[in-house]
Structure 1
Amino acid sequence: METREVRIPVVEGGLAADVIMPSGAIGVVLFAHGSGSSRHSPRNVAVAHQLNARSLATVLVDLLTPDEDVLDARTAELRFDIGMLAERLAAIVDWMGDDPALRPLPVGLFGASTGAAASLVAAASRPDRVAAVVSRGGRPDLAGNALTAVRAPTLLLVGGLDEEVIVLNEQARAELGEVAELRIVPGATHLFEEPGTLDQVADQAGTWFATHLRTPHPA
């Protein structure tokens, strides 16, 4: 298992990211965290480790620079700027296509909360590169018109007690059409903090990515 910390040059100064590459990786999953979180999110890190165990490389990245991530009136709106976050994700996907270790691997996107919307917009803009998407407790509705342009198989995972978000995901699944599947994790709230619920997310996400990232993308 190779771990490296990199700066991805998609903005001035770069974006900090942790890349974990298991031997014999069959694909790579780029994580997009929700507002107020970071690449050190314990939930995303836990899911990433389980994906690594299934021969999936992972890229956990801070989508905001340190200056942008200071919560004040000037920067607060950046956390919810889906268009900007999606552009950065798409640029990171492009960077992954230039990285010698990651280039041969098919790409999946794992988005949480607002990161799920940004992931779907990015997937719509890179249909030939993004092969699968998983949303955890996401707000896919915030992807707007981009939903109808998503071609990647998309799994929407929502906690059974997260009633408002279930409704929003049902609406988004209808917009996504046949590429999407909505699954409810019983007994889970929005952050999947209940015992065993995050393990269910990791297991279902791992199976989804292992299935849809099976065919390597041309180098």
Structure 2
Amino acid sequence: MNQKENIKKFVYIPDGLEKMIGSLEIPEGATGLVVFAHGSGSSRHSPRNNYVADVLRSYGLGTLLLDLLTVEEDKDYDMRFDIDLLAQRMLATTKWLKEQEETKRLAIGYFGASTGAAAALQTATALGDMIGAIVSRGGRPDMAWPYLEKVKAPTLLIVGGNDGVVIELNQKAYDKIRAVKQIEIIPGATHLFQEPGTLEIVAEMAAHWFVKYLIIK
């Protein structure tokens, strides 16, 4: 059964004693939903991820932008790099989505930036075929190194052409991933894709990847 109406609301997703706040938007007729895992120091208010989410919705995909850490947790710099905790929160989020009437029938994809990409990849290994596709933007997939061989979801790694160290880390991660995979290096882009036109390229690449693997034809 496809989604019958547009949905736009805040959601509160429990993980133990904590609750994550998220912005859920699902276009009418959507069959896929992309969960955003933000990078260190970022949040559901990230203008870059919100731009990408807008583009994904224009392609008929639902989006969930959420804060994996509480406000207090985010003040602890080390917690921003606790990939195990971030992955635990992604896992709790995905299980919650599969229990909700509005989202339980939707194919799930992950969009991860920076450390969020590592959390997305690690979580995907625990969920197997439940995750339909993954896109990493300027990600640190190397931080999920022990899990990369177990990733089953088709994975797209997008890196800025002027993000030298991260290019190398992504290429090493790409070599270790055994699933369907692709790596794209955007010429002239730095880590945050702030250069004119570069984020637009990222959004279109991500949209085509998710449409290919999440939208039921």
Q: Distance in 1 between matches of 2:117 and 2:103?
A: 22
1:190-215 deviations in Å (ceiling 9; x for gaps): 00000110000000000000000134
> Which letter does structure 1 place at the counterpart of 2:71?
P
1:177-199 deviations in Å (ceiling 9; x for gaps): 34221111111100000011000
| TM-score normalized with structure 2 length | 0.95
Q: Distance in 1 between matches of 2:170 and 2:68?
A: 23
Map 1:30-41 → 2, pairs under 5 A: 30-41=35-46
Q: Distance in 1 between matches of 2:60 and 2:215?
A: 11
Out of 54, 58, 83, the position equivalent to 1:49 is: 54
Contact 1:160 1:185 (8 Å CA) reproduced = yes
Q: Distance in 1 between matches of 2:16 and 2:158?
A: 31
Contact 1:8 1:15 (8 Å CA) reproduced = yes
2:3 maps to what in 1?
A: none
> Which letter does structure 1 place at the counterpart of 2:42?
S
Out of 14, 21, 30, the position equivalent to 2:19 is: 14
Map 1:17-96 → 2, pairs under 5 A: 17-70=22-75, 75-96=76-97
Q: Distance in 2 between matches of 1:152 and 1:215?
A: 16
What secondary structure is seen at the aligned counterpart in 2 of 1:102?
A: coil
Q: Which runs of 4 or more aligned residues in structure 1 lie more than 2 Å from their structure 2 counterparts after TM superposition? A: none
Contact 2:44 2:66 (8 Å CA) reproduced = yes
Q: Distance in 1 between matches of 2:32 and 2:11?
A: 19
2:157 maps to what in 1?
A: 156
Tell me the C-alpha RMSD between the 2 structures: 1.1
> Which letter does structure 1 place at the counterpart of 2:26?
M
Contact 2:152 2:178 (8 Å CA) reproduced = no
1:104-138 deviations in Å (ceiling 9; x for gaps): 11000000000000000001111121110000000
